[in-house]
Amino acid sequence: MIWIIRNWEVTVFVGALAAVLTHFIWERFQNKRALAKAQQEYDRRLLVREKELAAQGQARLEALFDSMIEGVLLLDPLGRVELYNRSLERMFQLTTGIRGLTIIEAFRLPELVKLGEEVQGAGEVVGFDLELPGENRRHLQANATLVAGAEGARRGALFVFHDITRLRELERTRQEFVANVSHELRTPLSMIKGYTETLLDGAKDDAERATRFLQVIDRHADRLNFLIDDLLVISKLESGQMPLNLQPIELRGLAGRVLEQFAARATGRQVMLSNEVGEGLCATVDVDRLEQVFVNLLDNALKYGPVGGRVTVSGRVNEEGMLELGIQDDGPGIPPEAQARVFERFYRVDKARSREQGGTGLGLAIVKHIVHAHGGKAWVRIEPGRGATFLFSLPQLSAAAAH
Ligand code: ADP
């Protein structure tokens, strides 16, 4: 009986022990599984984060690459396009992708192929200027260099393109300007020199001839003076060194005051001057500069208009709500082919006539600059047989604000 009891107790004990052990092992197994799962989840998140960071880095690099002003092109060791940016697309006006193409396939420019070959041989930065064909001619400065691989092995070539079209244009304009100015200065100077030499050669002893020659010298000296004045004004206007001293002004009054300055000259040529600027039109302007606009336009109207003609200054508010002022004459007018060019420096419709009248060729260019600086524009209207009407616009100032 005692044995049976003992045996029963042992069985219960062993059973309990087994249950406890099983539970313990199960729990550990469960914990291990949870731990492994957590580790897996952690690794997965880490991977996602790394990928996100890599994608962000890549996106930033691409944004930087694409926002560069220079065009960049990377070729692989086989000479095929591996990478390029937006500026390059724009410069070469690429309409399709060029990745994987050779230079000649992508650009059809033998000069670029030559540059690619040169850089392979040179091992240093090679550069040259490139003129792109087509209507919209562009000048590029191209630099190419080899790109080293992991162990210094040659990998490919990197091309960087700078668009120097604007620089070239500025350089051309500067050269043209210097050539024009020299020409304009030389003409009166050679007249002065010629007449002075004639005087010294004996004409000075003939009082009547001497007076005539001295008058010519005086006229050409004046012309030189005007030219230098205009050159200084235009160079200040173009370099933005002429700050505007703005103040509200009533335009009919201003036009009237400028017309008065021309009264004697108009009487001499029997030209009728009239002021048809509407009452109460006001603008915020630099009065001296705006007077110069009126003076230049009225001077031309009297210079090119006929004796016994008529010059009218008008002013109104146009359909765009801008003030529109016009100076109309009944002279020969501007031929249609010159309409777009009359405001250029030194452009003349009739060179001989303009010089003979003492023009500097800068009057309308000055007008254009002053009007632009005031936020307006200047143009000429052509109506065959009705002379020339030079117009300019200015932002309007309400009469209330002017007082
Ligand atoms: P310029 O000193 O030669 O007059 P501008 O710049 O004032 O220079 O004018 C440029 C050219 O435009 C003139 O040479 C002239 O041929 C032409 N022009 C200007 N105003 C008139 C006008 N009212 N009538 C006819 N031609 C004009």
CA distances from 367 to 239, 252, 293, 393 (A): 15, 19, 5, 11
Interatomic CA distance for residues 103 and 326, integer angstroms: 56
- Which residue from 261, 265, 262, 234 is spatially nearest to 367, judged by alpha carbons? 234
127 has which bridge partners? Answer: 143
Region for 387 from its dihedrals, namely left if φ exceeds 0, alpha if ψ lies in -120 to 50, beta otherwise: left
- Mean pLDDT for 93-120 is 89
Residue with tokens 């016009």: 326
pLDDT category at 239 given cuts 50, 70, 90 is confident
Phi, psi of 85 (to 5 degrees): -110, 180
> Is pLDDT at 400 greater than 70 in this prediction?
no
Report the share of the chain in percent with pLDDT over 90: 58
Residue with tokens 């006001």: 282
Radius of gyration (Cα) for the chain, nearest Å? Answer: 41
Interatomic CA distance for residues 88 and 11, integer angstroms: 88
> Is pLDDT at 154 greater than 70 in this prediction?
no
What's the confidence (pLDDT) of residue 246?
A: 94
Paired tokens of 369: 């600059």
Q: For the chain, list the domains and their CATH numbers.
A: 67-163 (3.30.450.20), 167-242 (1.10.287.130), 243-403 (3.30.565.10)
Ligand 1 centroid–CA 340 distance in Å is: 13
Region for 89 from its dihedrals, namely left if φ exceeds 0, alpha if ψ lies in -120 to 50, beta otherwise: alpha
String of b and e for 152-186 (b: at least 16 CB within 10 Å)?
eeebbbbbbbbbbbeebeeeeeeeebeeebeebee
Interatomic CA distance for residues 29 and 37, integer angstroms: 12
Interatomic CA distance for residues 109 and 118, integer angstroms: 15
> Is pLDDT at 175 greater than 80 in this prediction?
yes
Mean pLDDT estimate for the chain: 89
Neighbours of 91 (CB within 10 A): 19
Q: Do 128 and 119 form a contact (C-beta atoms < 8 A)? A: no
Q: Do 188 and 223 form a contact (C-beta atoms < 8 A)? A: yes
What's the confidence (pLDDT) of residue 397?
A: 81
- Using most ligand atoms within 8 A of CB, pick from 296, 328, 329, 349 the residue to mutate for ligand 1: 349
- Mean pLDDT for 350-359 is 77
What's the confidence (pLDDT) of residue 176?
A: 87
pLDDT category at 398 given cuts 50, 70, 90 is low
3-state secondary structure of 271: coil
CA angle 162, 168, 172 (to 5 degrees): 180
Smallest CA separation from ligand 1 atom 8, residue: 361
Ligand 1 centroid–CA 300 distance in Å is: 6
What's the confidence (pLDDT) of residue 376?
A: 96
pLDDT in tens, 183-216: 889 989 999 999 999 999 999 999 999 999 999 9
Ligand 1 centroid–CA 354 distance in Å is: 7
Chain centroid to CA 219:
40
Q: Do 129 and 140 form a contact (C-beta atoms < 8 A)? A: yes
Ligand 1 centroid–CA 311 distance in Å is: 15
Those residues whose C-beta lies under 8 Å from the C-beta of residue 349, and which sit 6 or more positions away, are 334, 335, 338, 342
- Which residue from 168, 219, 202, 154 is spatially nearest to 355, judged by alpha carbons? 219
pLDDT in tens, 47-68: 999 999 988 988 888 888 888 9
pTM of the model: 0.68
pLDDT category at 153 given cuts 50, 70, 90 is low
The amino acid at 201? D
CA distances from 102 to 3, 125, 145, 180 (A): 98, 20, 17, 46
- Using most ligand atoms within 8 A of CB, pick from 354, 355, 382 the residue to mutate for ligand 1: 354
> Is pLDDT at 399 greater than 60 in this prediction?
no
Paired tokens of 98: 């060029």
pLDDT in tens, 329-340: 999 999 999 999
Residue of 400 and 304 predicted with greater confidence: 304
Which segment of 85-89, 135-139, 355-359 scores lowest on mean pLDDT?
A: 355-359
Interatomic CA distance for residues 297 and 392, integer angstroms: 10
Residue with tokens 């210079």: 303
Ligand 1 centroid–CA 240 distance in Å is: 24
- Mean pLDDT for 172-184 is 88
Query: Which atom of ligand 1 lies closest to the CA of 301?
Result: 23
pLDDT category at 381 given cuts 50, 70, 90 is very high
